[in-house]
Amino acid sequence: MNVTVFGASGFIGTNLIQQLGNHDLKITAIDIKPMIIQLPENVKFIGADILDEQHVDTLIENTDIVIHLSTSNLRTSLSNPKRNIKINVQGTMNILEACRKYSVKKIIYSSASSIYGIPKYVPVDEKHPKTPSTIYGVGKYTGEHLIRVYNQLHGIDFLVLRFTNVYGPYQHPSTGGLIPMVMSRIINREEVTIFGTGEQSRDFVYVRDLGRLIFEAISDESIKNEIINAGSGVNTTILQAAKLCGKILEIEPNFVFKPQESGERKEFQADLSKCKRIFGKVPDTSLESGLKKTADWIKKIIDT
């Protein structure tokens, strides 16, 4: 089976490429940035920009399944909203047009829990109202609509996975991810800023658990035309997560508490009932176990 992965050099993509390298697949890894890992034998890397419509078109020919992980992240949506929308919407459109042209069997799309906005109830199921409060969330939700329409008009099967707060190896502190930022500051004996009381909660999911779901979706043709929450289903406060980082690193964090930023959601927890029903399982790596694996990688990049 020929699988094309867009966004292969990102932190989720890097982990996924390593995981898919263990299986009998022919993989083309696509990204604008080079990969930082040694590629498995069944993986070919091609540098490309998803905004380059003609190049994207040539890359999808002879592809059975497309995995679309390319994204402009939340931080970029705050600093450069026009570019964020261009990448997340126009880039997705370019990929879908190529999928239509070459009759791709299925596209697997990484959406985000940001599409829900401020939760009206928790745990949040897939039917929860969608009122994204960021440009990033709007772009991701637009991508979902585009995929749905291409399924209706052109018969392209899809799977949308709404990722919660993903963490794990290869997520660099410079990305602004909460876990790597906290860990790097603790290791460097720097202040760790906690906004408000730190009781805001998140649904942290270990990146390799998502890779296993994606592989199941590649292997099982019956997993299609579904939109599914992909998280841990566990409600963890930011302060709890930060303290656990310190425990694992065996360093006492120097917390500094600052006023709560406006617009931040106070809690989030994904309802994984549908994930359990479709996949027969849910992401189950405990936060402590996942943080230990993450800490091993963070310490390596800081030491170097």
CATH number reported for the structural domain that contains residue 183 in this entry? 3.90.25.10
**38: which DSSP letter?**
P
Buried b / exposed e over 273-284, threshold 16 CB at 10 Å, is: ebbeebbeebbe
User: Would you state the structure tokens that stand for residue 209, as one six-digit string?
Assistant: 């658990």
276: in domain: no
**What is the predicted pLDDT for the residue at 262?**
62
Beta bridge partners of 226: 159
Instruction: Please give the residue range of the domain that contains residue 195.
Output: 168-202+234-270+285-303
Same-domain check for residues 135 and 252? no
**What is the predicted pLDDT for the residue at 264?**
61
Across the range 38-54, mean pLDDT stands at 96
Same-domain check for residues 6 and 143? yes
Same-domain check for residues 152 and 295? no
| Of residues 91, 96, 53, 95, the one with CA closest to residue 72 | 91
Same-domain check for residues 221 and 79? yes
pLDDT band at 175 (very low <50, low <70, confident <90, very high): confident
Same-domain check for residues 126 and 180? no
User: Would you state the structure tokens that stand for residue 221, as one six-digit string?
Assistant: 């043709």
Burial class from Cβ neighbours inside 10 Å (0-12, 13-18, 19+) for residue 122 reads middle
**What is the predicted pLDDT for the residue at 158?**
98
Same-domain check for residues 128 and 42? yes
Per the structure, the count of domains in the chain is 2
223: in domain: yes
Across the range 30-47, mean pLDDT stands at 95
Same-domain check for residues 50 and 92? yes
Same-domain check for residues 52 and 133? yes
Same-domain check for residues 294 and 188? yes
Question: Does the pLDDT value for residue 256 go beyond 70?
Answer: yes
**What is the predicted pLDDT for the residue at 74?**
81
pLDDT band at 304 (very low <50, low <70, confident <90, very high): low
Query: Residue 97 is inside which H or E element, if any?
Result: helix 91-101
Q: Per residue in 97-152, pLDDT tens?
A: 999 999 999 999 999 999 999 999 999 999 999 999 999 999 999 999 999 999 99
Chain Cα centroid distance, residue 142: 16
Same-domain check for residues 195 and 64? no
**What is the predicted pLDDT for the residue at 47?**
97
Of all residues in the chain, the percent with pLDDT exceeding 90 is 91
Residues 6+ apart with CB under 8 A from 11: 166, 168, 169, 170, 171, 172, 175, 177, 207
Angle in degrees, 0-180, between the axes of helices 91-101 and 53-60, rounded to the nearest 10: 40
Asked if 275 and 230 touch (Cβ cutoff 8 Å), the reply is yes
Question: pTM of the full predicted structure?
Answer: 0.96
Across the range 224-252, mean pLDDT stands at 97
122: in domain: yes
Asked if 160 and 227 touch (Cβ cutoff 8 Å), the reply is yes
